[in-house]
Amino acid sequence: MKNLKTNGSKDPLGLFSSPPVDQVGITERAKRFTTRSLKTDCKSDGLRMILSMIDLTTLEGADTPRKVRQLCYKAEHLHDSIPDLPSTAAVCVYPTLVKVAKDALSESSTVKIASVATAFPAGQGHLDHKLEETRRAVEDGADEIDMVISRGKFLSGDYAYVSDEIAQVKEACQGARLKVILETGELGTLDAVRRASDIAIRSGADFIKTSTGKISPAATLPITLVMLLAIRDHYFATGEMIGMKPAGGISKSKLALQYLLMVKETLGDAWLDNEWFRFGASSLANDVLMQVAKQEEGVYQAAQYFSKD
């Protein structure tokens, strides 16, 4: 035991170890997806798929009930003049506005209500407060909880604390799905991203998510690829599917299509569904709508024809 106390590690037995990441290989592989493109019917199907995978989000201090109601309407009616558009996957709001979203969505709506919790976005809060915030959001009607990990604990090597916290938040979700936000822009290396992904998955995450959208860089293709490989390895080992949500920095449909190609080739067709893949990128919706309108009408519509909220 003396060696365990003097080696300075908070994980002396390697309980939270992860395979090393080949940064050069990951970067080169991710770059190849940027040279790919979809045409005609495949592109049209891909654009509609992207819309169905978006979590429309408003997470600002100036959020009001009116803004949330507008967001919910847009989630269900992306563009009334374009036929056969899907609704978005979810709306994501602060816990205090979950009831507003619940009342705003129609009874037949397929749009989920997601709520950030656990002292979003910094994660600097007492555990009892984080658990109470999670429970109340679910009781108010949240179908999904987007939690942030304690990056300070992770970066100091206290992986057991991070794992235990995720497990307790998962229990507090009372059946709601849990998305665990790693805030990859603060983790520093791809090896850290892989380790955080593995910890989140093993501790009960239903989804792993790159970012809060408050830190730059947010989602990137290489970071997302590392997280997809963690999901793949877990699936090969256990047969359990885990979802993925890149968030922040994805505002153009061309880039979103490249993400779909990467998901398909890394995880397979089963993940090409909003049950297992989401985009946290509200600004993406309007760009995709403009592309769909172009395909339908042959010309681009002006940006003012698409609501910002």
pLDDT of 5: 39
Catalytic residue flag (residue 103): no
Which has the higher per-residue pLDDT, 91 or 216? 91
Q: Which of 105-119, 139-153, 277-291 has the lowest mean pLDDT?
A: 277-291
pLDDT of 4: 36
pLDDT of 308: 58
> How do residues 226-270 score in pLDDT, each as one tens digit?
999 999 999 999 999 999 999 999 999 999 999 999 999 999 999
* pTM flag (> 0.85): yes
Which has the higher per-residue pLDDT, 129 or 283? 129
Q: Is the pLDDT of residue 306 over 70?
A: no
Gap between the Cα atoms of 308 and 71, Å rounded? 9
Tell me what the mean pLDDT of segment 152-179 comes to.
Answer: 97
Tell me what the mean pLDDT of segment 144-167 comes to.
Answer: 97
Query: Across-strand partners of 54?
Result: 279
Q: Is the pLDDT of residue 1 over 80?
A: no
pLDDT of 90: 98
Highest-confidence range of 30-39, 75-84, 206-215, by mean pLDDT?
A: 206-215
pLDDT of 40: 74
Q: Is the pLDDT of residue 6 over 70?
A: no
Confidence class for position 85, pLDDT limits 50, 70, 90: very high
Instruction: Supply the mean pLDDT for the chain.
Output: 92
Which has the higher per-residue pLDDT, 12 or 220? 220
Q: Which of 78-82, 237-241, 244-248, 287-291 has the lowest mean pLDDT?
A: 78-82
Tell me what the mean pLDDT of segment 141-170 comes to.
Answer: 97
Q: Which top CATH class is 38-297? A: alpha beta
Which of 112, 130, 146, 206 is labelled catalytic? Answer: 146
Catalytic residue flag (residue 43): no
3-state secondary structure the chain: CHHHHHCCCCCCCCCCCCCCCCHHHHHHHHHHHCCCCCCHHHHHHHHHHHHHHEEEECCCCCCCHHHHHHHHHHHHCCCCCCCCCCCCCEEEECHHHHHHHHHHCCCCCCCEEEEEECCCCCCCCCHHHHHHHHHHHHHCCCCEEEEECCHHHHHCCCHHHHHHHHHHHHHHCCCCEEEEECCHHHCCCHHHHHHHHHHHHHCCCCEEECCCCCCCCCCCHHHHHHHHHHHHHHHHHHCCCCEEECECCCCCHHHHHHHHHHHHHHCCHHHCCCCCECEECHHHHHHHHHHHHHHHHCCCCCHHHCCCC
Task: State residue 148 phi and psi, 5-degree precision.
Answer: -110, 140
Tell me what the mean pLDDT of segment 278-301 comes to.
Answer: 83
Which of 74, 112, 170, 209 is labelled catalytic? Answer: 209
Domain residues of the chain, as ranges? Answer: 38-297
Tell me what the mean pLDDT of segment 90-99 comes to.
Answer: 98
Q: Which of 1-15, 85-99, 126-140, 240-254 has the lowest mean pLDDT?
A: 1-15
Catalytic residue flag (residue 209): yes
